[in-house]
Homo-oligomer: A and B are copies of this chain.
């Protein structure tokens, strides 16, 4: 928590702002609009974006002149997995879950205030489709979110929630900070988190934390299953599989407590 001094390098910050702005534009954006939106002079925006383009971070569609996010990002992402070892280690285990349970599974980490999917495997014939890798969801309505935050310091969780609008996704969604914190106590007690149609009416989800050598929760695995199949029995079966999977992955990451 010890606050580090924050350095500012104007041109770099502007570049990152531009990159993220372009990233957020599904249909691309023209340089002029971009400059306006970011309050930059046209020539400045153009110079910075040209550089990003040259480096492959953004691409310009020749005919519309609109800028889109570039494929370089994918390459970076490829390195991310390698560097984190998580994926390599987790891939085998996820496959095993899918084979044994036939349900869709996800691997996710916490990034800033969000749950970010970093791997997913769709159950053969499963009704629940996998989330695209890189997708962000809120912490408050998902089992993964609960599993990823349950062991964090409470004040940190509160801070995240205060920055988040806890809009109800379904009638079951937890929309109250205190209620969420209570839920987290249960998660810690059980060792796993459950989403009972809180994110979507069609599915329920169970998630378990993955820990590294420091005993820190660094990721979480989940299994989703159709709400109408979610009985006490299936829940127990999934929990058993999931906990052992999460444990195996943790051990491979160096966890030994």
Residues of A within 8 A of B (CB): 4, 6-9, 11-13, 15-16, 19-20, 23-28, 47-48, 50-52, 54-57, 63, 68-84, 87-88, 91, 95, 109-112, 114, 116-118, 122, 124, 129, 132-136, 214
Contact = CB atoms under 8 A, between A and B. Distances in A.
A112 B11 contact: no
Nearest to A98: B124
Contacts of A27: 81, 83
Contacts of A75: 23, 111-112, 114, 116, 134, 136
A95 B12 CA distance: 41
B83 A25 contact: yes
Given A7-B51, A50-B4, A74-B133, A79 B12 contact: no
A23 B79 contact: yes
Contacts of A76: 19-20, 23, 69, 73, 76-77, 134
Given A16-B55, A23-B76, A63-B214, 8 more contacts: A26-B81, A68-B82, A71-B80, A74-B109, A75-B114, A78-B117, A78-B133, A78-B135
Contacts of A55: 13, 16
Contacts of A87: 132
Given A7-B50, A9-B48, A69 B74 contact: no
Report copies per complex.
2
Contacts of A82: 26, 68-69, 132
Contacts of A15: 9, 12, 15
Contact of A111 (B23, B71, B129, B135): B71
B118 A74 contact: yes
A72 B20 CA distance: 10
Contacts of A124: 124
A9 B133 CA distance: 32
Contacts of A20: 76
Given A23-B80, A111-B72, A132 B48 contact: no
B132 A84 contact: yes
B54 A6 contact: yes
Contacts of A23: 75-76, 79-80, 83
